[in-house]
Amino acid sequence: MRHLRLIYQLLFLFGFLSFTTTWSQNSKALADTALISANLSKAANTEADTAIQLYNTAIQTAEKCLREGGSKAYKDAVKRKLIKARLGLGLVFYSNMEYAKALNLYKIALKEAEDMGDTALAAESYFDIAEVYLEQSQFTEAMEYYNFSLSRYEKLKDIASQFWCYTGMGIVQKQSGNYRDAIEFYTRALEKARGNGLSYEEAICYNNLGNVHRKTGDFAKAMEAYQKAVEVFRKLEDETAVSDCLNNIGNLYIDNGDPFRALEYYRQSLKISEQAKDEYRLIIRYKNLAGAYTELKDYENARLYLEDALKLAEKSGDKSFLASCNMLFGKLHEAKNDFIVASAFFRKSVNLYAEIGAKPEQSEALVELANTLLNQKSIKEAIQFAKEALKIAESTGSLKGRLDASLCLAGCYEKDGNPSQAYLYLSRATELKDSIYTVEKYRTIEEIEAGFARSELKKQNEALSQMSMLQKQAIRTKNVIMVLLGVSLLLGIALIWLIYKRIKEAKRETGVIKQQSEEKIGQLSEDLISKERELTSKTIFINQKNQILEKIIGELDELKKSEVSAQSIQHLQVQLKQELSPNAWREFETQFNEVHPGFQSRLLTGYPDLTPAERRLCSFIRLDMNTREISSLSGQSIKSIEVARTRIRKKLGVPHEQNLTNFIALI
């Protein structure tokens, strides 16, 4: 029996320890997951440096939790937070153009998401990787990962994310020079946006379609698309997107040979990007301004903007940006007739564009290189590069690229002494120019921009009208307030005057009452003094009378010794003592109560044990009379009075050390 009891106790102890350990571990696990969530929440709404620290803390905490183990549900929850932390940190690096770090984090997150079978996180990871490849101009890889992401978002029926996948794929095709495919992907994205009420996404599509139409030489459609995009972005108050559209309109005017108009749009776009401190967009704005100033032969401004663009491009490591900056430097030196330096920049630009597979830009750089070589009289090499540019332009469907390459080849063959070939390419160039720059198309562009300008002016007029109405309303409100203030001021003055008058009247009445009170107090004081004098006189009179009577009584005592009957004399004495000024005592008490009202009643109420004779003695003490004076007045011996005072002290509860006269004076 004892063994069984011992076994039960051990089992209970083991269960208790297990419960305590499990509870402690669960409490710690909850604290750790709460810390991870808090760091993720803070990191999403803070600056880059702080966000990096918070994301790293979240990652370290999550990895520690996974090492410590736990239930499958708990570990899955921690893994999801870990993946989100990696994706968040990758986004910070992506925004800072640290693409290698971002790509590494995205790939780790992808593997973890695939391992745990989380389709949503895997789709997000694929998309983020595609975005990095796009920025690095690795178009094949970008297209592959966009497709992976799209297939998973289709399973999840996530329309908004499908839209962004189609948009990214459209950008890849545009950058690769596959304009037809780009339009197809943008059209699919537009359908997703329209079908689901995604206004912002719809505007993104219009902006991207405008870029493709500009590349294909359809400037009217490009301007129309840009206008639609700007209107939506301004309604949504998305300044960054407005900046992109304004920059694209500037590019459109550069393509149309109007750098003055282009500068106007570039400056508006630059102002927004500078306010946002958006380095990515500042590279584009600076190099576009440099190109416009180069067209205007303002080489100093062109150089300054181009140097700013190159610094940011080198910081980002983006080959597309570096290639475009090199090409602009080449154009700048070409404009200065420094053809050797210009050709070096153009060669570098061609190689960079070829490396990233940007065919339209590569074609443009080849034409610039061919023209520079032609100016150096390297005709054979110039023809070679111009033909390569034409071939690429034909493969991409770029009319402007074909036009530029054909004009270059016409010039090359003319200088090479081959007029038939020169005429052939010149004829092709003329046809291409007519198809691109027809008067009707240019008028359409002007009309679209005029409509755009009218729309902007209308909005400005509406804003001014509304402002005018608000100002008028403000003036009316101001006038009403002024009138109310005036009325309030008058009422305030009237109220102050009434209060002043009331105070003055109250002071006068108070003065009268005070005067009457003082007069009454004076009269009462005089009456009191008179009463006290009368009381004192009566007291003296009674005293003198009693002294005479005492003297007579004494003489009668002498007569007792004579032959007169002692019995008759004693009878006379008794009668005299009984009749000893009784009326005088009553008058004394009446006048005493007038001078000291309520004294006797307070004595009677507070000290009911006092006899009438003791109360009378208290009255004498209240008049500040000593024992001898009281003895003379009352006809009692001094010893009797002292004994009576002792009894009174005891009944009043007055200690021996306290003065009896002062105590009675306070009753």
* Long-range contacts, 114-123 (Cβ 8 Å, 24+): 116/76, 116/79, 116/80, 118/80, 118/83, 119/152, 119/155, 119/156, 120/152, 120/156, 120/158, 121/80, 121/83, 121/84, 121/87, 122/152, 123/149, 123/152, 123/153, 123/156, 123/158, 123/161
CB–CB of 330/345 below 8 Å?
yes
Residue-level pLDDT at 534: 61
CB–CB of 140/169 below 8 Å?
no
pTM: 0.48
Q: Which residue, 388, 323, 329, 390, is CA-closest to 361?
A: 323
Cβ within 8 Å of residue 614, ≥6 positions away: 644, 647, 648, 651
Residue-level pLDDT at 249: 93
- Calpha distance 428→404 (Å, rounded): 11
- What is the CATH code of the structural domain delimited by 596-665? 1.10.10
Cβ within 8 Å of residue 418, ≥6 positions away: none
Query: Torsion angle, CA of 144/146/149/155, rounded to 10 degrees?
Result: -100
Q: Split the chain (667 residues) into runs of 10 and give each run's mean pLDDT.
A: 47 43 48 80 85 91 87 89 92 88 94 93 96 88 94 93 94 86 92 89 91 86 91 90 92 88 92 89 90 88 88 84 86 88 90 85 91 91 92 83 90 90 88 65 50 50 58 76 86 88 84 80 72 63 67 72 66 60 65 82 90 89 86 81 92 89 88
Q: Residue 486 CB: number of other CB atoms within 10 A?
A: 10
Residue-level pLDDT at 440: 45
Q: Residue 175 CB: number of other CB atoms within 10 A?
A: 20
Radius of gyration of the chain (CA): 58
- Calpha distance 204→365 (Å, rounded): 28
Q: Which residue, 186, 158, 154, is CA-closest to 170?
A: 186
Residue-level pLDDT at 439: 43
Q: Which residue, 310, 7, 220, 373, is CA-closest to 302?
A: 310
Residue 408, classified by CB atoms within 10 Å of its CB into exposed (0-12), middle (13-18) or buried (19+), is: buried
Amino acid at 259: P
